[in-house]
Chain A
Amino acid sequence: MFETGATGRVGYFLGLIAVLVALWLGLSWDYSLKPVIASLGAVSIFLSAVLAFRFDILDREGSPYARLFQLMAYWVWLMVEIFKANWVVIKACLRSTLDINPALVKVKTGCESDLARTVFANSITLTPGTVSVEVEGNKILVHALYEEEAGPGAFDEMDRRAREASDGRRKP
Chain B
Amino acid sequence: MTEIIEFWNAFRPALGSALLLAGAILAVIGTVGVLRFPDFYTRLHAASVTDTAAATLAIVGMAFLAPSLAVIVKLAVVWLFLFLTGPTSSHALANAAHTAGLQPMIGRLGEDEGGRE
Using a Cβ–Cβ cut-off of 8 Å, how many residues does chain A contribute to the interface with B?
37
Least CB distance from A136 to B in Å reads 11
Q: How large is the interface on B (under 10, 10 to 19, 20 to 34, 35 or more residues)?
A: 35 or more
Q: A26-B73, A89-B48, A90-B49 are in contact. Are A102 and B91 (CB under 8 A)?
A: no
Partner of B108, one of A90, A101, A104: A101
Contact B94 A143 (CB under 8 A): yes
Q: Identify which of residues 60-82 in chain B touch chain A, using a CB-to-CB cut-off of 8 Å.
A: 70, 73-74, 77
Specify the chain B residue showing the minimal Cβ separation from A96. Answer: B111
Which of B4-12, B13-21, B32-40 binds A? Answer: B32-40
The contact string, 1 if C-beta is below 8 Å from chain B, for chain A 130-145, is: 1111100000010101
Given contacts A100-B42, A104-B106, contact A128 B94 (CB under 8 A): no
> Does B44 make an interface contact (CB < 8 A)?
yes
| A98 with B94, Cβ < 8 A, contacts A26-B77, A83-B53 known | no
A101 and chain B: residue at smallest CB distance:
B108
Chain B, residues 87-107, CB within 8 Å of chain A (1/0): the string is 110110011001100001111
Q: Contacts of A92 on B, CB cut-off 8 Å?
A: 33
- Among candidates B29, B48, B91, residue contacting A121 with C-beta atoms closer than 8 Å: B91
Contacts of B37 in A (CB 8 A): 93, 98, 100
Interface string of B51-63 (1 = CB under 8 A from A): 1110010000000
Flag if B110 contacts A143 (CB, 8 Å). no
Given contacts A89-B49, A126-B86, A128-B52, contact A102 B94 (CB under 8 A): no
Q: Which residues of A contact B51 (CB under 8 A)?
A: 126, 128
CB–CB A98/B110 < 8 A: yes
Residues of A within 8 A of B (CB): 23, 26-27, 29, 79, 82-83, 86, 89-90, 92-94, 97-104, 121-123, 125-134, 141, 143, 145
- B-side residues, CB < 8 A to A, are 26, 29-30, 32-33, 36-39, 41-42, 44-46, 48-49, 51-53, 56, 70, 73-74, 77, 83-84, 86-88, 90-91, 94-95, 98-99, 104-111
What 9 A-B pairs are tightest by C-beta distance, nearest first?
A93-B33, A125-B87, A29-B70, A98-B111, A86-B53, A26-B73, A128-B48, A122-B87, A145-B45
